[in-house]
Amino acid sequence: MLTIASRCWLCQCPLHVTIQGICSLCMKHLPVAPPHCLRCGLPCSGGNDDCGRCLQKPPPWDAMIFASPYEMPVSGLVLRFKFASQPELDTALARLLLLRWQERYRMRNLPRPDVLLSVPLHQKRYFSRGYNQSELLAKPLARWLHCEYLPDALSRDRRTTSQQSLTERERKWNLRKAFTCHVSLRGKHVMLLDDVVTTGSTVREISKILRSQGVASLQIACICRTLQA
């Protein structure tokens, strides 16, 4: 479904500020995440703190920020953005993530990132799709956060099987040695951006590489987080 640039992507009502993409009424009705761990993003009874899983075995990042659980209508916008050749959704979705990051920044005093990285696509998949959706999200977000975006810092060196069809164990093996970082990020506060985090296998593999470089801190950011253990 196409949209007129000056109308809300969800309800098609006119927008007072075109760049927002989603009207204030639809914003009020977007899904709200249940109490969840601020490190892995998964539901936990404590809420707004590290869960037992992360206390026992911390992931290789410091915080995870997501705009919405993987639920409609935001998940539908992500699917249109990713698979329906609607790259013009990038600004509206990036804005949702910015608003969530601002909430977390005030809540947990997150460091403002020095560098923003996006999860890369393999060259063949990039050519078939025509764009990297994470890269499109990163450009406006880096501008709003006043940080440097390095689009060529990461590369995916081999074409992997689609993660959607694999189990969590298979996803981990599928991504082994699939990525390379081409710049030195020692001492930098880094944000790694993906469109959707499901099991976290992709961002975990990249995070290990970034941690080995000695980054000062690492935040994972995504539009949608699948809330399952």
Tell the burial category of 158 from Cβ atoms under 10 Å away from its Cβ (0-12, 13-18, 19+). Answer: exposed
Q: What is the pTM of this model?
A: 0.89
Token pair in block for residue 181: 């970082």
Are 92 and 77 in contact by the 8 Å Cβ rule? The answer is yes
> What number is the average pLDDT over the span 65-83?
96
Q: What is the pLDDT of residues 113-163, one digit of tens each?
A: 999 999 999 888 888 899 999 999 999 999 999 999 999 999 998 766 555
Are 179 and 159 in contact by the 8 Å Cβ rule? The answer is no
In the prediction, which pLDDT does 168 show? 58
In the prediction, which pLDDT does 152 show? 94
Are 39 and 51 in contact by the 8 Å Cβ rule? The answer is yes
> What number is the average pLDDT over the span 83-111?
90
Q: What is the pLDDT of residues 207-227, one digit of tens each?
A: 999 999 999 999 999 999 999
